[in-house]
Amino acid sequence: MTPPLPMASASAAVPPPHWTRKDLLGIEELSAEEIVLLLDTARAFKEVGTRDVKKVPALRGQTLVNFFVEPSTRTRTSFELAAHRLSADVVNISVSSSSLTKGETLKDTALNLEALHADIIVLRHASAGAPHFLADRLDASVINAGDGAHEHPTQALLDGFTIREHRGSLAGLRVVIVGDILFSRVARSNIWLLTKLGAKVTLVGPTTLVPRTFEEMGCEVRRDLDAVLPEADVVNLLRIQHERQRREYFPGLGEYIALFGLTKERATRLKPDCLIMHPGPINRGVEIDSELADSGRSVILEQVTNGLAVRMAALYLCAGVGNPANP
């Protein structure tokens, strides 16, 4: 396949005709074609990162606001770097420095950002639906960088991108997602993306964190990790989020590791070419054995690299729609 578009010479952010969204709010509402377009665009941008001059002028003159109402280092940094590589101007607002702590509503903060002519708002928020709230009220493009337990679309895109790079296509692959699915926006976005692109998704975890309702989203739900691992083409281990989980969801980390941790012993059941993924930040020795995380089958750092390309693609495509008059 030929990667479309944006080369260093590209001077105008004109999206391909079939990308029509000013916002990227979730994977659920995207068609398979739209997802593939995002991934193909990301592939073209990934090449930019290997050049001596890692910058294209696609978003020159546009202002991006990284609006993070929940702590994050890696996603914020990734968006910031992606915006710089597209030549956009970037402002970071994190919860500690924002007015939200002074009692200003999300609506007012957003209107103020727009009054400053922000073209793109990247929002991370603890409330599910917060990006939709902004997108419905603002002309600016809104990119969801994680909303509560709802979606984290660019994470799923970078996961899909990484799998695609290794395996060519997602169709027919068995992807096993292990851990806290209930509270995970990464899981939801991955489920939509993987099933739309033809992969089979198996969720594994305790009944309290992986309710059967997820079967209605097109997944298989299993409890026996040992039996599932030999069938896996990809294992994606989700972070056990101590801060979110009250004690009632599972008895303790020791028991969690015994039942659902990817230990070295368990990893012997994996196919030799099975990819091990993790959205980070890792709890070494909990979801995954520390040595396994550093081993050759782990693609955890590739995910980080690919995140940059995927976010460039998302910003590029959405900003083109949100700002049709852009020179």
Partner 1 sequence: MIRGGRIIDPASNRDETGDLLVVDGRIAPLSQLATSGSPPSHIDASGLVVAPGLIDLHVHLREPGQSAKETIGSGTRAAAAGGFTSVVCMPNTSPPVDGPSVVAWIQEKAARDAVVNVFPTGAITKGLVGEELAPIGSMVREGIVAITDDGCCVQNHGVMRRAVEYARMFDLCVMDHCQDTSLTGDGVMHEGYWSTLLGLPGWPSAAEEMIVMRNILLAELCRTRIHCQHLSSAGSVRLLREARSRGIPISGEVCPHHIALTDESLHRYDTNCKMNPPLRTRADIEALIDGIADGTVDILASDHAPHCPYEKEVEFDQAPFGILGLETELGLFIDLLVHRHRAIDLPRLIALLTVNPARLLRLDRGTLAEGAVADITLIDPDLEWTVDREQSFSRSRNTPFHGREIKGRAVRTLVAGKTVWEL
- Interacting residues toward partner 1 by CB under 8 A: 28, 105-107, 125, 127-130, 132-133, 136, 147-151, 185, 188, 211, 213-214, 216-217
Radius of gyration of the chain (CA): 20
Task: Choose between 149 and 274: whose C-beta lies nearer to partner 1.
Answer: 149
**Residue 132: how many CB atoms within 10 A of its CB?**
18
What gap in Å lies between CA 150 and CA 135, rounded to an integer? 16
Cis? peptide before 281, omega within 30° of 0: yes
Q: CB-wise, 83 or 240, nearer to partner 1?
A: 240
Between CA 120 and CA 30 the distance in angstroms is 19
How far apart, in whole angstroms, are the C-alpha atoms of residue 292 and residue 278? 11
User: Nearest approach, Cβ of 296 to partner 1 (angstroms)?
Assistant: 34
Query: What does residue 319 show for φ and ψ, rounded to 5 degrees?
Result: -65, -35
When the beta carbons of 151 and 159 are compared against partner 1, the nearer one is: 151
* Least Å from the CB of residue 109 to partner 1: 11
Residue placing its CB nearer to partner 1 in the complex, 132 or 278: 132
Nearer to partner 1, 188 or 311 (CB): 188
Distance CA 68, CA 73 (A): 10
Angstrom CA distances, 164 to 40, 83, 237, stand at: 10, 24, 18
Shortest Å distance, C-beta 133 to partner 1: 6
The residue (of 5 and 217) whose beta carbon lies closer to partner 1 is: 217
What six digits make up the tokens of 210?
């992986």
Provide the minimum distance between the beta carbon of 130 and partner 1 in the complex, in angstroms, as a whole number: 5
Contact criterion met (CB below 8 Å) for 56 and 8: yes
**Least distance CB 277 / partner 1 (angstroms):** 21
State the Cα–Cα distance between residues 94 and 138, nearest whole angstrom: 20
Least distance (Å) from partner 1 to the CB of residue 83? 25
